[in-house]
Amino acid sequence: MALFGFGKKKEENTAPVAEKVEVKEEAVETPAAPTTSPEGHVDVRIFCSAGASTSLWAQNVQKSMDAQGRDMTIKAFSISVLDDEATDTDIILIGPQTRYVENDVKAKYPNKIVAVVPMQTFGLMNGDKGLEFIDTLL
């Protein structure tokens, strides 16, 4: 009797060999990112209670957008001016501190992309990570 496989004769692989199948590739068009701005420019606005930390986050994300040559802008605002600023933007972001307004904003602006920035993405203050999050929305 073999213990833990020792002393046991090794079995040969007798699995059937798969046949070679030729696959034809088809061209698939990716739909353009939803945008209301001219010529593909994407405008992002982030809203939170006071705007201090959100302004710093937006500056870091804008630096990443610029470094990557992206035709995008991001600006930070207080949630109190949401109605004045939301109509002229493509993406409405909500800071994690004011996530409680998410459902109301989505109901008021059903044709806009609305999302809450995850706390970890926001807290890192890393522009590249912020831009990665925005890209998931497009």
Predicted local confidence at residue 51, as pLDDT: 72
Rounded-to-10 torsion of CA 125, 130, 133, 138:
160
Q: How many residues does the chain have?
A: 138
Evaluate whether residue 88 is within a structural domain.
Answer: yes
* Residue 12 falls inside a structural domain: no
92, part of any domain: yes
Instruction: List pLDDT tens digits, range 3-16.
Output: 555 555 555 555 55
In a domain, 5, yes or no: no
User: Strand locations in the chain, DSSP E?
Assistant: 42-48, 72-78, 91-94, 113-116
Does residue 129 lie in a domain region? yes
Domain that holds residue 87: 46-137
CATH number at residue 114: 3.40.50.2300
The SS3 call for residue 10 is: coil
Query: Number of folded domains in the chain?
Result: 1
For the segment 4-63, what is each residue's pLDDT rounded down to a tens digit?
A: 555 555 555 555 555 555 545 444 443 334 444 446 899 999 999 877 899 999 999 999
3-state secondary structure at position 57: helix
For residue 96, tell me if it sits in a domain: yes
Classify the C-alpha dihedral 30-113-89-72 as positive or negative. negative
**Structural domain includes residue 53:** yes
Dist CA 134 CA 44 (whole Å): 9
pLDDT tens figures, 86-136: 999 999 999 999 999 999 999 999 999 999 999 999 999 999 999 999 999
| Residue of 122, 126, 121, 131 lying closest to 71 (CA atoms) | 131
Q: What is the pLDDT of residue 52?
A: 81
**Residue 32 is assigned to a structural domain of this protein:** no
